[in-house]
Amino acid sequence: MTEGTFTSSRLPRENIPLPDGSVLRRRSLVPDAAFIDAVAADVEYLGKWLRWARRPPTREETEKFRAEQDADWDAGRSFVYVLTPPDRHDAVIGGGAMFPNGAAAVLEIGYWVCSPATGRGLATRAAAALTEEGLRLPGVEAMEIHCDRANVRSAQIPPRLGYRLLRVEPDEPQTPAEAGQSMVWRRDGAGPRPTPQAP
């Protein structure tokens, strides 16, 4: 991996099916209205941990961010997905992303699920799919997950997927719920692939 970019011929899949039939889709493949509706309906829950979801997004903001994410994808800089239910591309129940975080040969992933879809293992399956997809990219030797120590539900996911806790480091809180202590988890590409154990 060179300077955090990937060649256009070796980008991740735009659609990643999960075992339950839901699909991680490249953000630009899903209507802006579906993204806006999902976040606006769940601001109180999502805004606890996602700084960009602390208020309903406007159409103009959504269009701008989607265009930026599309350009980053095409340039091989970062890859943003939304999670859609089985057999639908016009509804959003969560999302995820892969992006360089400054560490050599490492991609970091993030994930989120709307409150009506929690408790079904979707975040675990989405994180597992992003982990495997990232490790297949050229030059990627390890994946990382960073989450605030106070986000107990999110912190349960990395060890299920074979990540090991590297360290806990101070991090400026971005939302009211965060404690300002970031847990840094890493999984190397070598070795057997664990089967995700969703709750």
List pLDDT tens digits, range 61-114.
999 999 999 999 999 999 999 999 998 989 999 999 999 988 899 999 999 999
Residue 184 burial class via C-beta count within 10 angstroms: exposed 0-12, middle 13-18, buried 19 and up: buried
Q: How far apart are alpha carbons 105 and 118 in whole angstroms?
A: 32
pTM of the predicted model as reported, rounded to 2 decimal places: 0.90
List pLDDT tens digits, range 141-175.
999 999 999 999 999 999 999 999 999 999 988 88
* Element spanning 172, H or E: none
Question: Encoding tokens for residue 167?
Answer: 């360290």
Question: 32 — phi, psi (to 5°)?
Answer: -55, -40
Question: Encoding tokens for residue 56?
Answer: 């309903």
Order of strands across the sheet that contains 164-170: 15-17, 23-26, 79-84, 94-100, 106-113, 142-148, 181-188, 164-170
Q: How far is CA 139 from CA 11, 32, 101, 107, in A?
A: 12, 32, 14, 10
